[in-house]
Structure 1
Amino acid sequence: MGNNRVGWPCASRALIVAAWAVAGLTMAVGPAGAATMQADTPPTSGMPAVQPAATSTLDQGIAAFEAGKETEAVALLTPLAEKGDAEAQTYLGWIYEEPPVKIEPASGQGAPPPFLHDNAKARAWYEEAAAQGQAHALNNLGSLYFLGRGVPEDQARGITLFRQAAAKGDLQAQDNLTMIYYNGVGVAKDTQAALMWCERAATQGDPEALRFLAVQTLAGEGAPHDPTRAYILVLLSPSDDPDIAKMRAALEQQLPANVQQRSHELAAAWHPGQPLPTADQTRGAIHPL
């Protein structure tokens, strides 16, 4: 059972929204599941128009969830969760969790039935899955404790759970820790720790992590000032971001043509999961990443 299903529901976006706003960053709104900095959103808008037939009860339950049919999803997922399926438990946690902010339903879909919203049930299912080491359940449980939703607020416990999830590769937990350390929320401000978690998220291809890392690298905050690496990161960041476009234009006025060319080659050759390209790689022959 994998911990990195595309479009995992995220119960931590309220935290991210507040933290990124404090940092003065533009919060991009993109397809759900793309780890953009936005309010809690179920992973529906990023789904392709035609889905293959679900082949298992778990797949059917998730498909019902993604189609906005939460009551049907609960009926399908609950028996699996009661038998110990950590993925079903995590999805049930999300379905039961109360939205921290008002959510506009996707086109043609209704809002989740209010009677399903119960943070205590959400916590219970997250705890069942987290006890099995399910990374995203650890992240979402951490969010409940960090924000005091359905449990007494306990930022220290929330951060511990975020660390456990992030160490297992959960992208949203890595995003959360980036902003927690960058803003000093519940911990001492630590820009280097923030950038360490940000780089892990960026290595997975997270657009906002790439953007944030580019900004910090260019500013020399928490990392050496490095326009070349900042340019590479800009090339890997969303091209439709106006701030990224301005940064790219400014850097192209500074960097030599040969450095720009090699940066483009490195960016084109890079794929999520590989180490991020470095400025050193622009100074000699480009080796496979």
Structure 2
Amino acid sequence: MQADTPPTSTIPAVQTAATSTLDQGIAAFEAGKETEAVALLMPLAEKGDAEAQTYLGWIYEEPTVTIEPASGRGASPRFVHDNVKARAWYEKAAAQGHAHAMNNLGSLYFLGRGVPQDPAKGLALFKRAAINGDLQAQKNLAGIYSLGIGTLKDPEEAARWGTEAAQQDDKDALYCLGTRYEVGDGVPKDAVAAYILLNLSHSTSPEAAALRTRLEQRLSADERQSAHAMAADWHVGTPLPLPMQAHGLLQPVAH
């Protein structure tokens, strides 16, 4: 389970020179220069910069799989990861309300990495992060409630958080939500809603192709045309363009 991710970079895609120490630290992190990134970010983090603290947490966090470089003459220095240090920096950022730090801290507790495993605490942190708009936390909750990992299965709760992630235009979340509407898993069974979400996901996987074939066999030409029009008019961050009956008892998350 990959329950955490690096923070989202605020650096423009094309940038000739970093304009701040934070930008320089992020750029070093994204270039794989961990020691340099830590040297740049540490002074900012110690002064209370929540973004720098979150990046430090991610840098220190141990990779899920660690491949040791060859030792001996000429070997590159290896950055020492430490989940305890990662947790400490995440805690500092989370205390300031940094949503992604809450998510990543939740992942450490949920999986027991650098702390005693505590799924309930991890789940609570995921919820705090998700309510504050963190995409990864929303996807975590959708998966947790869908599979019943560390808690009881709850299809409606899984669909609720999947909807929040889908509204951020996450392609995987849009596709997964579409598969729920196809069969009525936690949401009303609605082929039009499933078709709209499939179109929004732009998925080209074999599974998506098979889903498209099934849905197009069920829908009329007018229904398909209407679904395409609704998908084309949608704007990210607004409620998903679904037929009224598709919403059922699904309630939006209170922010």
TM-score with structure 1 setting the length: 0.76
Q: Is the Cα–Cα contact under 8 Å of residues 198 and 212 in structure 2 kept in the other structure? A: yes
Counterparts of 1:113 and 1:88, CA distance in 2: 23
What letter corresponds to residue 78 of structure 1 in structure 2?
M
**2:123 match:** 159
Structure 2 residue 216 is the aligned partner of structure 1 residue 252: yes
**2:252 match:** none
Residue 42 of structure 1 and its aligned partner are, at CA, apart by 8.4
**2:250 match:** none
Counterparts of 1:143 and 1:14, CA distance in 2: 8
Q: Is the Cα–Cα contact under 8 Å of residues 7 and 55 in structure 2 kept in the other structure? A: no
User: Number of aligned pairs?
Assistant: 236
Q: Is the Cα–Cα contact under 8 Å of residues 146 and 155 in structure 2 kept in the other structure? A: yes
Matched position secondary structure for 1:116: coil
- Give the alignment partner of residue 214 of structure 1, picking from 156, 167, 178: 178
| Deviation string, structure 1 residues 117-156 (Cα, Å, up to 9, x no partner) | 0101100000000000100000000000000000000010
What letter corresponds to residue 222 of structure 1 in structure 2?
G
- Give the alignment partner of residue 190 of structure 1, picking from 134, 141, 154: 154
| Deviation string, structure 1 residues 14-50 (Cα, Å, up to 9, x no partner) | 348xxxxxxxxxxxxxxxxxxxxxxx67879xx95x4
**2:226 match:** 262
Residue 229 of structure 1 and its aligned partner are, at CA, apart by 0.4
What letter corresponds to residue 48 of structure 2 in structure 1?
G
Structure 2 residue 82 is the aligned partner of structure 1 residue 94: no
Counterparts of 1:41 and 1:251, CA distance in 2: 36
Structure 2 residue 37 is the aligned partner of structure 1 residue 73: yes
Counterparts of 1:102 and 1:41, CA distance in 2: 17
Name the larger-Rg structure: 2
Counterparts of 2:79 and 2:33, CA distance in 1: 13
Report the identity percentage.
62
> Unmatched 5+ residue regions in structure 1?
1-12, 17-39, 104-111, 282-289
**1:234 match:** 198
Counterparts of 1:170 and 1:258, CA distance in 2: 37
Counterparts of 1:252 and 1:155, CA distance in 2: 41
Q: Is the Cα–Cα contact under 8 Å of residues 14 and 101 in structure 1 kept in the other structure? A: no
